[in-house]
Amino acid sequence: MSTVTGPGTASIGTMNSSSGSLPSHESPLPVVLAGARGHGHWHLANIRRLQDKGLVRLAGICELTPLTEAELGVFTAPGELPEQSADFGALLDSTGAAIAVICTPIPTHTDLALTAAARGVHILLEKPPAPSYAEFRRMADGVAAAGVVCQIGFQSLGSQAVHAIRELVAQGAIGRVDGIGGAGAWARAEEYYRRAPWAGRRRMNGADVVDGVLTNPLAHAVATALALDGATRAEDVTGIETELLRANDIESDDTSCVRVTTAAGHRITVAATLCAEHPDEPYVLVHGTSGRITFWYKQDRVLVQRSGHGPQEITYGRTDLLENLVEHLEGRADLLVAPDSTGAFMKVVEAIRQAPDPVALPADAWYLKADESRRIVYGVDGLVTAAADTLALYSELGASWALPKEVST
């Protein structure tokens, strides 16, 4: 997510031919980045990496306030400054972009994706793809109708560990799968919620934002757990239970858990907080009748523990999603994260959006760590771990501050 507001959209153009065929481009493919500050810096660095490999060329940056040469720094070579504009549509037109990387506030995602699609520009869209299921469907259906390719930016799903774990499960390495847990114990200072007007908001100016712990900073835990279960499409989800709470003085949630029931009858529980005492690497845990598999998805690290075998730890490689998109457009790879493969995740976003507003934790449930200016929830590290271990919600684990569970389908 960028820390700045979304760029404007010009009048939407048309495809290059009445048949809907896409414009052809020669390598390196011209790329426009919308939202280059905040997390956008990561995309700038990644585009530069692929530019050095001859795959892409940074053709334009869309920001309300142009980046300075100092901000661009190592991202561009001297004398190679990209075109900049606050008008996304006009910038796509003037640069002849083949790909748009969209890293802007959540409520802007759908309109910007459709602006790119109408011009025949392929898309890498940051997660979460939209703030509601209706907006997600508007984006996904519009992109499909335009005939362009859209990759959703769940980088963890580019890990080769995802396929490897699913293969192990299919081979019966850990017996029958009983369920999947996810744990994310992170910490964010109070300043985190002041970095942008939409930060920590559920709604803003009448539009959904849904910037909560499970839908944005630790969204990968939810999406990765669903992917390991093979429950990625909207129709794979049959029930969702949520517990949404907050220690910080925000509108959205910072300490929450969700339990998804899938069409196959599996349970997936993910617990997360931004108020951990001892922040640690998030992970997803596959429970089997004769073993378990732990996947630290940011590290691509997997631990297999099963009956009759010693523990086995493997670190896998990862395919970058922008590079995968380029290779897919060149006919050399399958697309890794198409919009419909995030439909189940968007059902979780929708359940969180429709749930009652998160309840503030009582003052005696948290304390302020003054030297880091962040709020810590007593005992939450252990609760997050226990939820992933047992597939139970906070209220079922005896947390005195947790709400009775609330079911949303």
Largest CA distance in the chain: 64
pTM of the entire predicted model: 0.92
Residues 57 and 96 in one domain: yes
- CA distances to 24, 28, 31, 100 from 50, rounded to whole Å, are 19, 9, 11, 14
Residues 64 and 122 in one domain: yes
Residues 65 and 198 in one domain: no
Sequential DSSP letters for 246-313: ESSSSSS-SEEEEEEEETTS-EEEEEEESB-SS----EEEEEETTEEEEEETTTTEEEEEETTS--EE
Residues 247 and 364 in one domain: yes
Lowest mean pLDDT among 24-33, 117-126, 183-192, 370-379: 24-33
Residue 83 host element (H or E): strand 83-85
Q: Is the pLDDT of residue 340 over 60?
A: yes
Assess contact for 100 and 116: CB atoms under 8 A: yes
Flag whether 283 is in a domain. yes
Q: What is the 3-state secondary structure (H, E, C) of 346-401?
A: HHHHHHHHHCCCCEECCHHHEEEECCCCEEEECCHHHHHHHHHHHCCCCHHHCCCC
Q: Is the pLDDT of residue 23 over 60?
A: no
Residue that finishes a domain, picked among 106, 125, 156: 156
Flag whether 332 is in a domain. no
Residue 8 pLDDT level (bands cut at 50, 70, 90):
very low
Q: Return the CATH number at 131.
A: 3.40.50.720
Flag whether 303 is in a domain. yes
Residues 173 and 283 in one domain: yes
**Prior bond of 28 cis (ω within 30°):** yes
Flag whether 305 is in a domain. yes
Residues 69 and 196 in one domain: no
Residues 142 and 224 in one domain: no
Residue 24 pLDDT level (bands cut at 50, 70, 90):
low
* Mean pLDDT within 247-267: 97
Residues 259 and 223 in one domain: yes
Pairing verdict, β 359-360 and 237-246: parallel
Domain that holds residue 244: 160-316+339-408
Flag whether 17 is in a domain. no
Q: Is the pLDDT of residue 236 over 50?
A: yes
Residue that finishes a domain, picked among 132, 156, 180: 156
pLDDT digits (tens, 9 = 90+) for 310-327: 999 999 999 999 999 999
Q: For the chain, what is the domain count?
A: 2
Residue 245 host element (H or E): strand 237-246
Assess contact for 272 and 256: CB atoms under 8 A: yes
Flag whether 324 is in a domain. no
Tally the C-alpha atoms within 13 A of residue 218's C-alpha that lie toward its C-beta: 32
Q: Is the pLDDT of residue 19 over 60?
A: no
Residue that finishes a domain, picked among 156, 175, 193: 156
Flag whether 9 is in a domain. no
Residue 21: the pLDDT is 41
